[in-house]
Each structure stands twice: as structure tokens, then as C-alpha cells.
């Protein structure tokens, strides 16, 4: 079974640009979660999508947005990039309706560098 | 989600048991204790979870105190590959996201 995949692996942008990160969940999982791991700040929850709808949002500005497609894959968009947006962005998926474990499976992440 | 408190770092000799403590004194009755770990530069990995009974799987054991205010993750025979940051998280299963604290950096040495 294929795990959660993310693309690209690395992304370099300059301040003010937009970044688009992509995530494919494990087959059969309907929920996708996005987390940011910036140096010194730990893992912080960004967004949760389930069945195409945004279910929850972390304490991030509106320039962080995303969507979930009918095949449950997801995009994270970061507009007007700032230097402090440099971080590892992790995507996770789960199928909490079908399991009592509600384990989140994480992808390898996208390393975003803003110059 | 309730907050947790973990020691910032711990050492363990290879082959010995690693016992990682976690305090969660404000845990609610419907909140589970989850443990994840993150090996350097990789995505976090689920280890185990429990509500009030002790749990064991192929990776680890989870001991939860009777009052549920603390728990201990036990890696029975630590290996070098167990070197990672271990996160203790309390949450309502299925209806909330994961709130990661700073975790415990476990260093397993030969």
C-alpha cells in the first residue's frame, strides 16, 4: 500500500511569491491534514480537510489556504510569502470514520525555503 | 486538547528499556493519550494510543495511571533506530487535530 506522498520535495521561492504544495493521501482516506514545522517552533496544525470541506483551521493568517479535490488529494497555497514561512510542510491523512485508532499517517514533507 | 508535559531529553543504552513519561493532569474523560515519534527530517509516525487501560503493540507499551493524569511509553528493547523525538498528545479521537508539544528527544546509544 502506497503511503502519503507530497510534492515537490523542495521548493525555493522569493518573498512575495506564491507557493503551491501538493499531497496525495493513502487510498481510501478521506481526511487530509496540513502541518507546519518551522525551525524552533515545532509542529503546528494548519488545516484539516475532509470530504472536500475545510473542517478546522489553525492559527495562521488567511494567506495560508488550500483545498481538497474529489479524489481526496489536497493542495496547500501560501500567498505573499514571507521569510518566516520557510519550514517543512507536512501532510497527513486518516480515515477516522472507519477505524477506532484514528491514526494519522504522515508524508515525507515539502521543504519550503523563502529567500 | 489538554496540554502535556514531557522531559526535553532522555538517554537510553541500546538493548535496555526506554521509559518516557508524560503528564496530562487536565485530561478530559473522552480524551485519549496518543504517542507519535519523529525521526530526524521525517514525518511523524504513530506509535500507540489508549484511553484508560494499558496497551501494548509490536512497537511499544503504554501505561496510563488510574487517575489518567500521567502515562509512560515503554520501548522494551531500545535500538539505535529508536533515536527520535517522542510526542505525547491527548485528544478526542476522530474529531480534533494533533497538537504537538516540544516532545522528548530520546537518544539511544551503543
pLDDT band at A40; cut points 50, 70, 90: confident
N-to-C CA span, chain A? 37
Q: Residue with C-alpha cell 479535490?
A: A69
Which chain A residue's Cα is nearest to B33?
A101
Cβ of residue B28 closer than 8 Å to a chain A Cβ: no
List, in order, residues 6 or more apart from B52 with CB less than 8 Å away: B64, B68
Q: Do A102 and B94 touch (CB under 8 A)?
A: yes
Nearest Cα of chain A lies from the Cα of B68 at a distance, in angstroms, of 19
Mean pLDDT of A67-94: 96
Helix H or strand E segment including A50: strand A42-50
* CB nearest to B42's CB, from A43, A103, A108: A108
Averaged pLDDT score across all residues of chain B: 92
Cβ of residue B63 closer than 8 Å to a chain A Cβ: no
Gap between the Cα atoms of A77 and B32, Å rounded: 32
Q: Say if residue A100's pLDDT is above 90.
A: no
Residues of A in contact with B38 (CB under 8 A): 43
pLDDT at B40: 87
- Give the bridge partners for B12, in sequence order: B108
Helix (H, G, I), strand (E, B) or coil at B101: coil
Amino acid at each position: 500500500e502506497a503511503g502519503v506522498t507530497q510534492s515537490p520535495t523542495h521548493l525555493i521561492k522569493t518573498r512575495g511569491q506564491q507557493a503551491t504544495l501538493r499531497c496525495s493521501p493513502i487510498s481510501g482516506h478521506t481526511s487530509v491534514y496540513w502541518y507546519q514545522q518551522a525551525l524552533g517552533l515545532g509542529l503546528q496544525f494548519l488545516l484539516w480537510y475532509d470530504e472536500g470541506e475545510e473542517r478546522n483551521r489553525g492559527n495562521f493568517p488567511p494567506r495560508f489556504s488550500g483545498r481538497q479535490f474529489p479524489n481526496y488529494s489536497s493542495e496547500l497555497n501560501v500567498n505573499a510569502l514571507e521569510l518566516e514561512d520557510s519550514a517543512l510542510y507536512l501532510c497527513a491523512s486518516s480515515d477516522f470514520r472507519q477505524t477506532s485508532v484514528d491514526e494519522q499517517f504522515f508524508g515525507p514533507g515539502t521543504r519550503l525555503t523563502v529567500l | 486538547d489538554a496540554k502535556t508535559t514531557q522531559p526535553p531529553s532522555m538517554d537510553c543504552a541500546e538493548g535496555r528499556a526506554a521509559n518516557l513519561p508524560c503528564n496530562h493532569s487536565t485530561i478530559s474523560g473522552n480524551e485519549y493519550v496518543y504517542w507519535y515519534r519523529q525521526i530526524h527530517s521525517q514525518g511523524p509516525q504513530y506509535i500507540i494510543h489508549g484511553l484508560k487501560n494499558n496497551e501494548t503493540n509490536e512497537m511499544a507499551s503504554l501505561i496510563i495511571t488510574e487517575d489518567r493524569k500521567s502515562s509512560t511509553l515503554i520501548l522494551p528493547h531500545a535500538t539505535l533506530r529508536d533515536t527520535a523525538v517522542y510526542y505525547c498528545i491527548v485528544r478526542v479521537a476522530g474529531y480534533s487535530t494533533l497538537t504537538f508539544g516540544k516532545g522528548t528527544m530520546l537518544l539511544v546509544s551503543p
